[in-house]
Amino acid sequence: MALHSLRGFRDILPPDSARFAAIEAAAREVFALYGYQELRIPTIELKELFVKSTGETTDIVEKEMYAFTDGGGREVAVRPEGTPGVVRAYIEQNINQSGRNAKFFYIGNMFRAERPQAGRFREFEQIGAEHIGNASPLADAESITMLVRLLERAGLTDCSVDLNSLGCGECRKNYRQTLLAYLRGCSERLCEPCRGRIERNPLRALDCKIDGPWLAGSAPKLTLCPDCAEHFARVQELLKISGVPHNVNPGLVRGLDYYTRTVFEVRSSALGSQDAVCGGGRYDDLVKSMGGPAAPAIGWALGVDRLAMLLKDKPAPDCSTRAFVVAAGKEAASKAYALLSALRAAGISADFSNFDLSLRSQMRSADKSGAFYALILGEDEMRDGTVAVKPLKEAGEQTLVPFDSVPSTLKQLLKV
Ligand code: ATP
Ligand code: MG
């Protein structure tokens, strides 16, 4: 049987791979503007890390984790999300004691064993940002604004931010009871998994793909305490100041256990049912609950695969080389090889096909390559010590250039 990739795992070929790279480049530019630095976290961690932080009753931990026992008998998991690793690193590396602003971004692949479908894969890429140690609504507004600027820089123009507040532990304590009583009353309408988990985590039902939609209309709503209400109002006010349009959506819960106060999602209707591009929120209690200092935090994670899908109608970044070298014969091949080196040393991207093929066939490759110029070393050119420079993208005569002047001439022509 021919070898094949696993379901839900995919190859990303050019030009899509260039779209991914362009999104990452845009993200790095924007992160630098906001003072975020990169944190590279491991792909595999102790399973316990995700169970404790992401939460036992979440979809991720209940059914989507790639967890296994390693050769040393340790229960480990391939990361399904980035926040737990960042928080573990923050605590383990004593980052809070360095006196620096703990603003980190990560870029990496995540793994979830869920049913593959359009926009939902088992291995996918996330770009995430975490700001740890700042409780101010300014940190919320800055984080969300940075996300929107990043999406704009990457080329996404029509997205909207949904915003809600889940309150603090105090607001939720009362609400939990009210909601639980309500859910018990209509438990026969709930899906099987929700029936099993409402006693442990009634809020999960609100985020359930099956029950969430009907509960959004009928279930009792959370009332924020005065502090949380003020925080939420201030976040909205600050977002207005930075010109970030947003809608308050009281039905927005988010499926992870650790969120407190502000939660948000960016959606785009162009994605169909898998419409969330990014999700995030505040997690004021997580660092402490993981054994670290009391450090309030806010962060988000952006799905790069879904963002690339949204940008697929925009022209892909042009990754073709500028010059394409064509030569026939063994002697010409050596000369062409030297020319390729000289061009690259001068900062001009250059490629070739196969010098053993006919000039005509190599010219066909040159035409297809997307290069601006073909550099031809035929018999005449070899004899005269020249190279024929032929424009490929626009009409124009072929010119003969002395071999040694080709890099400088091309620099002029290409304005590089
Ligand atoms: P969904 O409701 O679509 O399952 P989620 O709430 O599980 O999303 P998060 O854990 O918040 O997603 O991850 C943030 C982003 O990562 C999502 O908005 C989405 O763009 C992306 N993402 C999550 N799971 C997948 C997946 N299986 N395949 C591709 N992208 C994904
Ligand atoms: Mg999910």
**pLDDT tens, 304-363?**
999 999 999 998 888 899 999 999 888 999 999 999 999 999 999 999 999 999 999 999
Q: What value, to the nearest 5°, has the Cα angle with vertex 201 and ends 200 and 205?
A: 130
pLDDT band at 33 (very low <50, low <70, confident <90, very high): very high
CA distance 146 to 144: 5
Kindly state if the Cβ of 79 falls inside 6 Å of ligand 1. no
Kindly state if the Cβ of 137 falls inside 6 Å of ligand 1. no
Quote the ligand 2 centre to 276 CA distance (angstroms).
10
CA distance 321 to 1: 37
Kindly state if the Cβ of 55 falls inside 6 Å of ligand 1. no
Is residue 18 packed enough to be buried (19+ CB in 10 Å), middle (13-18) or exposed (0-12)? middle
Residue type, 60: I
Q: Are 183 and 220 in contact (CB under 8 A)?
A: no
Kindly state if the Cβ of 114 falls inside 6 Å of ligand 1. yes
Inter-residue long-range contacts of 191-196, CB under 8 Å, 24+ positions, other chains counted: 193/62
Helical residues (DSSP H) of 34-126, grouped into ranges: 47-53, 59, 83-92
User: Could you tell me which residues are beta bridge partners of residue 44?
Assistant: 78
Q: Class of 323-410 per CATH?
A: alpha beta
256-280 tens-digit pLDDT: 778 999 999 998 877 777 689 999 9
Residue 268: what pLDDT? 84
Quote the ligand 1 centre to 134 CA distance (angstroms).
25
Determine the 3-state secondary structure of 310 from DSSP: helix
280-305 tens-digit pLDDT: 999 999 999 999 999 999 999 999 99
Residue 158: what pLDDT? 79
CA dihedral 195, 199, 205, 210 (to 10 degrees): -10
| Tokens representing residue 119 in the block | 């926009």
CATH dotted code for 16-167+224-310: 3.30.930.10
Q: What is the mean pLDDT of the chain?
A: 94
CA distance 412 to 346: 12
Nearest to 144, CA basis, from 124, 133, 159? 159
Quote the ligand 1 centre to 321 CA distance (angstroms).
35
Residue 203: what pLDDT? 87
Strands 260-267 and 160-165: antiparallel
pLDDT band at 167 (very low <50, low <70, confident <90, very high): very high
Q: Residues with Cβ < 8 Å from 51, sequence gap 6 or more? A: 61
Kindly state if the Cβ of 81 falls inside 6 Å of ligand 1. yes
Q: Dihedral of CA 128/132/135/141: which sign? A: negative
CA distance 308 to 399: 41
| Nearest CA residue ID for atom 8, ligand 1 | 276
Atom of ligand 1 nearest to the CA of 277: 20
Closest listed ligand to the CA of 264: 1
Atom of ligand 1 nearest to the CA of 122: 27
Q: Are 21 and 165 in contact (CB under 8 A)?
A: no
Kindly state if the Cβ of 126 falls inside 6 Å of ligand 1. yes
CA distance 192 to 203: 15
pLDDT band at 99 (very low <50, low <70, confident <90, very high): low
Closest listed ligand to the CA of 307: 1
What element of type H or E holds 23? helix 16-33
- Give the C-alpha distances (Å, rounded to integers) separating 32 from 37, 140, 170: 7, 18, 36
Supply the pTM of this predicted model: 0.93
Helix axes 406-414, 330-345, angle to 10 degrees: 50
| Nearest CA residue ID for atom 25, ligand 1 | 120
Kindly state if the Cβ of 121 falls inside 6 Å of ligand 1. yes
CA distance 287 to 52: 11
Atom of ligand 1 nearest to the CA of 255: 6
Quote the ligand 1 centre to 303 CA distance (angstroms).
6
| Tokens representing residue 257 in the block | 């256990």
| Tokens representing residue 393 in the block | 């993208």
pLDDT average, residue stretch 188-215: 88
Q: Dihedral of CA 308/313/318/319: which sign? A: positive
Phi and psi for 62 in degrees, rounded to 5? -65, -40
Atom of ligand 1 nearest to the CA of 114: 27
Give the residue extent of every domain in the chain: 16-167+224-310, 323-410
Atom of ligand 1 nearest to the CA of 80: 10
Kindly state if the Cβ of 267 falls inside 6 Å of ligand 1. no
Atom of ligand 1 nearest to the CA of 306: 20
How remote is the C-alpha of 83 from its chain's centroid? 14
Q: Are 404 and 386 in contact (CB under 8 A)?
A: no
Pocket test for ligand 1, best of 110, 211, 254, 264 (most atoms within 8 A of CB): 110
Residue recorded with tokens 């000369």: 335
CA distance 311 to 304: 10
Atom of ligand 1 nearest to the CA of 274: 3
CA distance 237 to 23: 29
Domain 16-167+224-310 identical in fold to domain 323-410: no
Quote the ligand 1 centre to 266 CA distance (angstroms).
11
